[in-house]
Amino acid sequence: MAGVLGRVVNADLGRPRGPDASHRIRVPHAWLKRGAVVELELPRHLVCAACDGGGCDTCERSGAVTVRERGEPADLVEVTLPGEQGDTFVIRLPERGGLPPQGSGLPRGNLLLRVEPSAQADPSVTLASRNSIFELARRALSTRPAATLRYPLVLGVAAVGVILLVIWLTLRR
């Protein structure tokens, strides 16, 4: 009976899944400001989000949840920072949290990623490689209102134009 009740409560909180995990990262203010895409490696064990590490039924009193099996490669999580944000905030990433009970067929829990503005990035957090001119161009061309991102694209096009002009002038001689 207790198990059935537990399932009803779970359903009320969202669909059944593995335990939710929480993790904290620090990123420079500048990355936040421009809405950078960052990559981070998740440790194998994260803090249980249900009890914040204090120990509860979800994490079997350990205060921690496991996000991958032993020996599996580290999880690389890519997050787009939401741009201008005052202080610390939390991003919820579905299916990046704790592993579900074995054989349950359930998805992984949520990852509650707490982002803190800081002077320096944590060593585990890097700018994603797709923060390139191509990515900026793609974002500038997308329908999303992102007027500030159009500026680098215009500069890029202007630079290409100048290079072509110089080549043309050189070949004309």
Please give the residue ranges that form the binding site for Zn ion (CB under 5 A): 48, 50-51, 56, 58-59
Q: Which is nearer to Zn ion, 98 or 117 (CB)?
A: 98
Q: How far is the CB of 58 from Zn ion (least distance, A)?
A: 5
In the bound complex, what is the minimum distance in angstroms from residue 57's beta carbon to Zn ion? 7
Angle among Cα 120, 124, 126 to the nearest 5 degrees reads 65
CB of 45 to Zn ion, least distance (A): 12
Contacts of 20 (CB under 8 A, 6+ apart): 48, 49, 50, 58, 65, 97, 98, 109, 110, 111, 112
Nearer to Zn ion, 62 or 126 (CB): 62
Q: Closer to Zn ion at the Cβ: 97 or 117? A: 97
> Are the CB atoms for 41 and 124 separated by under 8 Å?
yes
Q: How many CB atoms lie within 10 A of CB 143?
A: 5
Tell me the closest approach of the beta carbon of residue 51 to Zn ion, in angstroms: 3
Q: Distance between CA atoms of 35 and 128, rounded to whole angstroms?
A: 12
Distance of alpha carbon 121 from alpha carbon 115, whole angstroms: 11
Q: Which is nearer to Zn ion, 25 or 65 (CB)?
A: 65
